[in-house]
Amino acid sequence: MTIHRREMLGAIAGGLTLATTPLAAAPLTSKRGRDATQLDVRPDSSEDQTAALQRAIDDAAERRVPLALPPGTYRTGTLRLPSGAQLSGVRGATRLVLTGGPSLFDSAGADAPTLSGLILDGASIPLPARRGLVHCVGARALRIEQCSITASGASGIWLETTSGTISDNILTAIAVTGVVSFDARGLRVDGNTILGASHNGIEILRTSVGDDGTLVTGNRIENITAGPGGSGQYGNAINAFRAGNVIVSGNRIRNCDYSAVRGNSASNIQITGNSVSDVREVALYSEFAFEGAVIANNTVDGAALGVSVCNFNEGGRLSIVQGNIIRNLRPKRPIGTAPDDDAGIGIYVEADTAVTGNVIENAPSFGIVAGWGRYLRDVAITGNVVRKAFVGIGVSVADGAGTAAISGNVIADAQRGAVVGLDHAKPVTPDLTKPNAARFAQIALGSNSVR
């Protein structure tokens, strides 16, 4: 038989290909990755699967291939996520149930760990303080996506010094907080649903004041209670503390014991385009030592106070409150807040702030308030519509109060007056828009439409 040159070259090339194929590289056995059942993992077994799952996770991570868990229930203790671990399930059908340990997943210093399409069930087993059912410290490019996280005995997800994405997950029956992040290094929390937590929905925190830049967008957060009590540290849908340059946008928030969004010492926070209903304290809050806040284009229906930008005494200053619709304010705040804290107010501001283009309706106390005693400086209130309020716009005229400009507003059905001078929360002047009313040098009162 004659062997042609082309056939010989093809045979040599095929031999070289086989020779250079790593013998240790096992083939993928699922479209989603390596099938965990080929590595002695057994779904729906009454036996604990911790050891088998950990071996499978480590083996797949070492080979840099995804690990696929078929449908079924897996009983397991704490599992470690090393660098390169990519664990996926069938959405709604692959359930990991915690049998014991400080977390279901624990990771430290890992590169690109990924969890997707899994039901993570904490079985309501109490976890240690400052832990999450998923607990990651120092993770880089973390991804937790399309998972269901339920019945955690502490927080749902706890992150420290981590970058990555938490997206399209559903968190239910969380004993503490849905998602906690300390000292993020480039984090996005978007498109998640959090239904029921007894501390807060999402916390973006830093151990000291500094840039954070976390994006909290497009989440649905409902039924957040202040389980431990307190005066506002719990019961919030989204809480940013000491974290600068955080963006909170496009979230749907309902039924919270305290605030929808609370920025505490969080400079350059942007709170925009959120839909808020049925919260029982300040809906949108920027407080304490911050510089810079944009609160714009939100809707608030049902709160004790719609927007509060305060604590000039602590250095809180510099904000824009624009284009919000705020209505149906409550006359009282929750038990636990300071007894002299006002309620029934649409917008409250203190220093270096423009309040413009907002619409406020049904405010039992004030539509807009500028200043608290002497804590008032450089506030412009222009182009707003205030309907059905006890006082349309209140402005501090106390000794030491700074300047305010009030013009171009439309004020209707304000029982006590359209624009009234205040000493703290107490009205102390007649309606300043009336002819022959007293004038105050620090108040530039322009033309307003009053009826």
Residue of 363, 372, 362 whose CA lies nearest to 287 = 372
Q: 374 lies in a domain?
A: yes
Same domain, 137 and 214: no
Same domain, 60 and 101: yes
Q: 186 lies in a domain?
A: no
Single residue among 343, 370, 387 that ends a domain in this structure: 343
Instruction: Give the pLDDT confidence score for residue 339 in this predicted structure.
Output: 59
Same domain, 358 and 445: yes
CATH of the domain at 98: 2.160.20.10
Same domain, 202 and 339: yes
Q: From the CB of residue 434, how many other CB atoms can be counted at a distance below 10 Å?
A: 12
Single residue among 296, 315, 343 that ends a domain in this structure: 343
* Alpha-carbon span 147 to 375, nearest angstrom: 47
Q: What is the pLDDT along the chain (451 residues), one digit of tens a residue?
A: 444 444 434 443 444 343 333 434 444 556 788 999 999 999 999 999 999 999 999 999 999 999 999 999 999 999 999 999 999 999 999 999 999 999 999 999 999 999 999 999 999 999 999 999 999 999 999 999 999 999 999 999 999 999 999 999 999 999 999 999 999 999 999 999 999 999 999 999 999 999 999 999 999 999 999 999 998 999 999 999 999 999 999 999 999 999 999 999 999 999 999 999 999 999 999 999 999 999 999 999 999 999 999 999 999 999 999 999 999 999 988 777 765 678 999 999 999 999 999 999 999 999 999 999 999 999 999 999 999 999 999 999 999 999 999 999 999 999 999 999 999 999 999 999 999 899 999 999 999 999 9
Same domain, 55 and 157: yes
Same domain, 441 and 318: no
Same domain, 309 and 357: no
Tally of domains within the chain: 3
Q: How many helices (H) and strands (E) does the chain have?
A: 2, 41
Q: 179 lies in a domain?
A: no
Q: 146 lies in a domain?
A: yes
Range of the domain at 449: 347-451
Task: Give a three-class secondary structure readout of the chain.
Answer: CCCCHHHHHHHHHHHHHHHHCCCCCCCCCECCEEEHHHHCCCCCCCCCCHHHHHHHHHHHHHHCCCEECCCEEEEEEEEECCCCCEEECCCCCEEEEEEEEEEEEEEECCECCEEECCEEECCCCECCCCCEEEEEECCECEEEECCEEECCECEEEEEECCCEEEECCEEEEECCEEEEEECCCCEEEECCEEEEECCEEEEEEEEEEEECCCEEECCEEEEECCCCCCCCCCCEEEEEEEEECCEEECCEEEEECCCCEEEECCCCEEEECCEEEEECCEEEEEECCCEEEEEECCEEEEECEEEEECCHHHCCEEEEEECCEEEEECCCCCECECCCCCCCEEEEECEEEEEECCEEEEEEEEEEEECECCECEEEEEECCEEEEEEEEEEEECCCCCCCEEEECCEEEEEEEEEEEEEECCEEEEEECCCCCCCCCCCEEECCCEEC
Distances (CA, A) of 308 to 2, 61, 333, 386, 425: 91, 48, 13, 16, 14
Q: 351 lies in a domain?
A: yes
Q: 433 lies in a domain?
A: yes
Q: 10 lies in a domain?
A: no
Single residue among 291, 318, 343 that ends a domain in this structure: 343
Same domain, 309 and 258: yes
Same domain, 283 and 392: no
Q: 23 lies in a domain?
A: no
